[in-house]
């Protein structure tokens, strides 16, 4: 190696490259830094991991190393709070999707409830995403087979989709994410595909790789990186996949030795390259990957 045609002292050097599974956070249980069926994960303004601890009926916050910071529990509702997914707005408001009470719970980082909405429209809500374009909140409803759209203040705006296999139809939609240009990506679980819509809810295209390492059987979680790459968790086989936003398969991030067992939630850090954080639901932990 040279700079200005002059050899760099000390060359050659060995530069270690970290790739693949780099961290496992948590184990099965109900104590701090333990989980029971974590469904989803998001990253707050402090770069902490906010995990939907589904079977423990709470949100648990850890730092990036996995050290416990806080637990949020909401016990004021008619039925026990049963979180399924979470999205965090640009002003750090937590939007938690409560499957038991069928509503969105908006709180601050300390667990103070600001508002709830969606009770009149949501049936079996499952996934939630916030548009970086207009701040609207997108919620997928599994047995409703559609996506419902709200303002951040909870006003119901519209819905799109119906049950079926056609373009713009769903069969158990789960994860949803919105790009900086307003494109909406939905994990259409039982149709084994990702569907993409524009900001006006119009169907654009789908991708549904069904062979090799990119085999997409029952996609659940979905995240997007810089509008260029889409990351998808699949239940069968349990895997973490990377695609170009146009749907072209890029690579599988995990390997068989990583032992994923029903991964669902997924979030991306702001590192370069980004770290992919996912909930390994049936292993009751969080796993962090570097590409």
Q: Which CATH number belongs to the domain containing residue 218 in this structure?
A: 2.120.10.30
The whole domain housing 255 covers: 22-290
> Could you tell me if residue 17 is inside a domain?
no
DSSP 10: T
> Could you tell me if residue 229 is inside a domain?
yes
Average pLDDT over residues 102-106: 97
> Is the overall model pTM greater than 0.85, yes or no?
yes
Overall number of domains in the chain: 1
Q: pLDDT tens digits, residue range 38-77?
A: 999 999 999 999 999 999 999 999 999 999 999 999 999 9
The Cα diameter of the chain in Å comes to 73
Mapping DSSP to helix (H, G, I), strand (E, B) and coil, where does residue 92 land?
coil
* Cβ(161)–Cβ(170) below 8 Å: yes
Residue 193, strand partner residues: 188
> Could you tell me if residue 11 is inside a domain?
no
> Could you tell me if residue 130 is inside a domain?
yes
State yes or no: pLDDT of 14 exceeds 60: no
State yes or no: pLDDT of 258 exceeds 70: yes
What pLDDT, on a 0 to 100 scale, did the predictor assign at position 1?
60
> Could you tell me if residue 107 is inside a domain?
yes
- Between these two residues, 12 and 215, which has the higher pLDDT value? 215
Q: Which region holds residue 154: left if phi is over 0, alpha if psi is between -120 and 50, else beta? A: left
> Could you tell me if residue 15 is inside a domain?
no
Q: pLDDT tens digits, residue range 173-218?
A: 999 999 999 999 999 999 999 999 999 999 999 998 777 777 888 9
* Cβ(47)–Cβ(288) below 8 Å: no
């Amino acid at each position: 190696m040279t700079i200005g045609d002059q050899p760099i002292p000390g060359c050659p050097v060995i530069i270690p490259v970290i790739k693949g599974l780099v961290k496992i956070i948590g184990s099965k249980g109900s104590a701090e830094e333990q989980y029971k069926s974590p469904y989803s994960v998001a990253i707050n303004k402090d770069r902490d991991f906010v995990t939907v601890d589904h079977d423990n009926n709470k949100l648990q916050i850890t730092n990036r190393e996995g050290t416990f910071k806080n637990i949020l529990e909401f016990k004021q509702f008619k039925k026990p709070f049963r979180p399924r997914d979470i999205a965090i707005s640009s002003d750090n408001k937590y939007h938690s999707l409560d499957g038991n009470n069928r509503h969105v719970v908006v709180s601050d980082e300390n667990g103070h409830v600001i508002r709830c909405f969606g009770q009149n429209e949501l049936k079996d809500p499952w996934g939630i995403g916030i548009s970086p374009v207009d701040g609207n909140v997108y919620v997928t409803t599994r047995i409703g087979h559609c996506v419902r759209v709200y303002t951040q203040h909870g006003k119901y705006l519209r819905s799109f989709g119906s049950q079926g296999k056609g373009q713009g139809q769903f069969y158990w939609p789960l994860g949803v994410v919105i790009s900086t240009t307003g494109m909406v990506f939905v994990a259409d679980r039982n149709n084994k595909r990702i569907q993409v819509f524009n900001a006006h809810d119009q169907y654009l295209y789908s991708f549904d790789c069904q062979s090799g390492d990119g085999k997409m059987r029952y996609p659940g979680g979905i995240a997007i990186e810089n509008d260029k790459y889409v990351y998808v968790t699949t239940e069968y086989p349990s895997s973490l996949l990377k695609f170009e936003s146009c749907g072209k398969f890029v690579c599988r991030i995990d390997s068989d030795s990583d032992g994923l067992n029903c991964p669902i939630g997924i979030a991306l850090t702001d590192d370069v390259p980004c770290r992919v954080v996912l909930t390994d639901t049936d292993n009751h932990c969080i796993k962090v990957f570097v590409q």
